[in-house]
Amino acid sequence: MGKRIISQRRGKGSLTYRARGKLKIRLPKKEGKAKVLDIFHVSARNTPIAKIQFEDGSVDYLIAPTGLLTNQILEVSSNAPPVLGNIIPLGKIPEGKEVFCIEASYQDGGKFCKSSGIFAIIKSHEKFYTYVQLPSKKIKKFDSNCRAIIGRPAGYGRITKPFLKAGDKWRRMRAKGKLYPRTSGSKMNAVDHPFGGSAKPGKPTTVSRNAPPGRKVGSIAARRTGKKKK
């Protein structure tokens, strides 16, 4: 009798293959000045998080930009100056400024450029719209009322830093609930994977969309396989 394959074990939902919980960081809806109480790391995100407190005592959280300091005063307002950390509508930000956590629609909390070191650049303004250059170099049109944070998210260079040791990579992947190292199915024993074993010839890698768990491996409901002809 065969064993449960990795996809079946992951689907069970045990702690070994757990998924990290949600942590929604949205731009605050209220306006006013806020003080940075703390900057800390959470396992669910790759950017530091800033804890801010408004003048009325309410507390909120946002993605910390590079250069932000504790006890620094931020401002959330359409009349705020375009300086580091302030949250301003795109229509009020000068051309050439770096911004991140850009809203797709007004007060949706921010959808674009939220990962570490990822930022966009204000290119030009129209009467009701602002053109922004995204990290992909694509120019996207936004409503000028959509807000963004001035600066770039902290953690720039995170991807370029090498792991150097397999143990470091294993700990990183374990914190994210990912399987590492990943063994190829063809290198497993026959009881561990449909592609495992060496006693019989190989089998097709395509599999039906309606295949049961345990057989649903390889190219699932593939329209085509192999290299495209030039």
User: Which domain CATH number covers 115?
Assistant: 2.30.30.30
Range of the domain at 89: 32-150
Tokens matching residue 44: 């669910």
Residue 41 located in a structural domain = yes
Decide if pLDDT at 19 tops 70: no
Residue 49 located in a structural domain = yes
| Residue range 141-159: mean pLDDT, rounded | 93
Report the relative pairing of strands 206-207 and 219-220 from DSSP bridges: parallel
Of all residues in the chain, what percent carry a pLDDT higher than 90?
A: 64
Rg (CA), the chain: 24
Decide if pLDDT at 158 tops 90: no
Residue 120 located in a structural domain = yes
Burial state string for 52-89 with b = 16 or more CB within 10 A and e = fewer than 16: bebeeeeebbbbbbbebeeeeebbbeeebeeebbbbbb
**Domain count for the chain:** 1
Tokens matching residue 21: 């919980």
* Residue of 192 and 159 predicted with greater confidence: 192
Residue 195 located in a structural domain = no
- Whole-model pTM over 0.75: no
Decide if pLDDT at 22 tops 70: no
In terms of Cα–Cα distance, which of 34, 6, 43, 39 is closest to 181?
A: 6
Could you tell me if 205 and 194 are in contact, meaning their C-beta atoms sit under 8 angstroms apart? no
Residue 179 located in a structural domain = no
Instruction: Give the alpha-carbon dihedral of 150, 154, 158, 160, to 10 degrees.
Output: 40
pLDDT value, residue 98: 96
| Residue range 30-49: mean pLDDT, rounded | 90
Decide if pLDDT at 24 tops 90: no
Residue 72 located in a structural domain = yes
Tokens matching residue 167: 């143990």
Rounded CA gap, 164 and 137, in Å? Answer: 31
pLDDT value, residue 146: 96
Residue 95 located in a structural domain = yes
Burial class of residue 168, CB neighbours in 10 A (0-12, 13-18, 19+): exposed
pLDDT value, residue 3: 83
Residue 8 located in a structural domain = no
Amino acid at position 86, single letter:
N
